[in-house]
Every structure is written in C-alpha cells, then in structure tokens.
Structure 1
Amino acid sequence: MSTFVTTSHGADFFGEDRHLTKSLASLADYARGCLAADERDQLVQLLTAQEMAEVGTEQSIPAAVAGRLADQLGRIARNHYLRSKRLAEAAALLAAAAGRAAADGEPWQWRIETSP
C-alpha cells in the first residue's frame, strides 16, 4: 500500500495532483540544499511532515503562504543540481498548484491518502 498526498489546484480533471509521500521527503532534501537557510524551514517542514501524517489528515495552507511556497518550489524545480526528472516534475507541479491557489486567493489543501 502506498501513501500519497493529494493537493488542490492541481492539473488533473478534478483540479488535484497526487504525490507519493516518499517523493516529497526526497524533495525536502533538495530544498535544504537549494534554498537559503532562512527561507526553507516552512517548506521542508511541510514536505517531511507528510510522511509521518496519518491517512485522512488534511492541511490548509493560506494563499499568501502558498505564494511563497510556489516561488521556492519553482526554484527547486529549475535547479540544475536536481538530477531526478521525476522530482523536478513533482516540484514543478507543486509550484504550479501553489501558484494557482495563491492567484485565486484560496487556501491550498493537502490530504493524506493511501492506494492499494
């Protein structure tokens, strides 16, 4: 059974994206290396907390925070040290979803789910 995060404002037909929690934790490692220490804490905490969260846990990220996270995730996605195309794509999808939430002035929703 895999655990993943479903985010709002995504690119699929239902306006959602799904990311494995293990992928998000790996992305947090790149955030530590790509972003300045004074700006990365909130993003790293968000990405790593999902791996420990229980199924059914939901989190709402305010639009203003989503805008900052969109910028940070976009910089990670474009960083030349991020060699994994899968992780770069995940960072780009997260950045786009966070940006849409911020532009709409809506909270960015995260939900923990499992798949068989």
Structure 2
Amino acid sequence: MHPDHIQAGELLAVPRPDRVRPEQTDGTMCVWCDQPPTVDLGVRLSTSSGPHPGGLRRWHPRACQACAGRYAAEVFASHITRCHACQRQHCPDARALYALSIASRSRPETRRPGR
C-alpha cells in the first residue's frame, strides 16, 4: 500500500469482539456506542471465546464519525510524542489520524436528544 493511503481506522484499537453486542461485531452499529456507523475500521482477526474457543475469526468493526474522530484524536496525540519520524515532520500515520479526527469536528453531531 502506498504510504500516503493509510486507513486511519485500522490504527485504532477496538474492544474485544466478545465484549460487544453482535450488532457491533457485524458492523451494523458503532463498536463504541449505539449509533449507525459511517467509518470502516478494517477487518480484524480475533480468537473465538464462544462455542468453539481457540479458533480465529474475522470481524468487521465500524464506528460512527464522532467516536472515530474522538479515538483518532487520542491516538494522534499519543503517536506524535512517540514516533521518531514525527519529530521532524508528521508521518503518514499521523496525517491520516489527524484527518480522521478533524473530519468528525466538521460534521454536525447526530446524537439523539438526551445523550
């Protein structure tokens, strides 16, 4: 993959699939909240803890823009203090994380009232 085509969502840590609802593991609900997802977080592999423990399974977490942006901002802040390349100029990972965090600020919040 070209270094300027980093998928920022793939750089975000997600909850373990056995600790979220089925709708969150199949990508029909944000992996961090109950909102409709708009950001692909990439295909993940995890060990199964269900009826067939020990096997690998593939799952497809997705996130709403607000959650993806919030977590991207946290990872960006941590990344730029630890990445050697970012001491001179932001690396492709940092640029992708920053773009994802900014994208959530430019869109209106779509949360339901009372949340």
Q: TM-score range, shorter-chain basis?
A: 0.3 to 0.5
Q: Which has the higher strand share?
A: 1
Which protein, 1 or 2, shows the higher relative CO under an 8 Å CA cutoff with sep ≥ 6? Answer: 1
Question: Normalization by structure 1: what TM-score?
Answer: 0.40
